[in-house]
Amino acid sequence: MKNIDKIIKILKKDTKDFVIPSVTELSEKKDITPYMILVSTLLSLRTKDEITYEVSKRLFDIAKTPEELLEIPIKRLEKIIFKTGFYHNKARTLREVSKEIIENYSGKVPSTIDELTSLKGVGRKTANLVVIKGFDKPGICVDTHVHRISNRLGLVQTKNADKTELALRKDLPKKYWMEINDLLVKYGQNVCRPISPHCKECRLTTYCKFFKENKK
């Protein structure tokens, strides 16, 4: 993958002072578990980072295990996670996932992507993030930022996040797998935005296919 070492070096330097993603921040706490990482990731879907962090902490004050979550009445659970949006669906998903983990995995979150994606409502993005943050195992978590920036830089040429993941698994050096999400999420939130990216502030334009095609 051409220039990837230089790109990663710039990303590390230029994002070091940016706020880290909420799930990453939670994962760095001493008492965090793979189950809590999974729950927080599910809450984060279509939700701002600061809201995800706030709601996750509120929920974990009450329930840290699938057994404890299932003890929360559905209406109360919806009230707790209300600020994340889509709270009806998320509450049902959290309960169904918790039940599956208890019944099929003895209450322990599985540690492989195939097992995780067998859980209702868990896609590859969520599964990869849980594998990385919950089990410290290699994975490539591709969200909208990773998909967008990887294509803008010309690292991949793909139409959706799943295809981006497969392309990155093929060509991205494995030493960068576990950190690529944090780097590109921070960069995507602050510099390489979906609309009106801050190309004048970007030090990756030398390598950027998007810039060369659109900012002449």
141 is annotated as contributing to ligand binding: no
* 167 and 90 within one domain: no
Least Cα distance to 19 among 186, 167, 205 occurs for 186
Report pLDDT digits (tens) over 119-135: 999 999 999 999 999 99
* 128 and 28 within one domain: yes
* 163 and 61 within one domain: no
pLDDT tops 60 at residue 216:
no
* 118 and 156 within one domain: no
112: left (phi over 0), alpha (psi -120 to 50) or beta: beta
State the Cα–Cα distance between residues 59 and 6, nearest whole angstrom: 41
User: Exposure string (b/e) for 32-71, b if CB count within 10 Å is 16 or more?
Assistant: bebbbbbbbbbbbbebebebbbebbeebbeebbbbeebbe
* 127 and 28 within one domain: yes
* 119 and 31 within one domain: yes
3 state DSSP class of 200: helix
Report pLDDT digits (tens) over 145-178: 999 999 999 999 999 999 999 999 999 999 999 9
State the Cα–Cα distance between residues 162 and 156, nearest whole angstrom: 12
State the Cα–Cα distance between residues 191 and 181, nearest whole angstrom: 15
Domain residue limits at 103? 22-135
Residue 3, C-beta contacts closer than 8 angstroms, at least 6 positions apart? 207
Report pLDDT digits (tens) over 188-214: 999 999 999 999 999 999 999 999 998
* 110 and 60 within one domain: yes
pLDDT of residue 30: 85
Q: Can you give the length of the chain in residues?
A: 216
* 107 and 43 within one domain: yes
* 150 and 112 within one domain: no
* 175 and 124 within one domain: no
Residue 55, C-beta contacts closer than 8 angstroms, at least 6 positions apart? 43, 47, 80, 81, 83, 84
* 58 and 127 within one domain: yes
Are 97 and 121 contacting, i.e. CB atoms less than 8 angstroms apart? yes
Indicate the number of domains in the chain: 2
Distance (Å) of CA 126 to CA 15, 134, 202: 23, 11, 29
Whole-number average pLDDT of the chain = 96
Residue that finishes a domain, picked among 81, 100, 135: 135
State the Cα–Cα distance between residues 14 and 93, nearest whole angstrom: 37
pLDDT of residue 1: 82
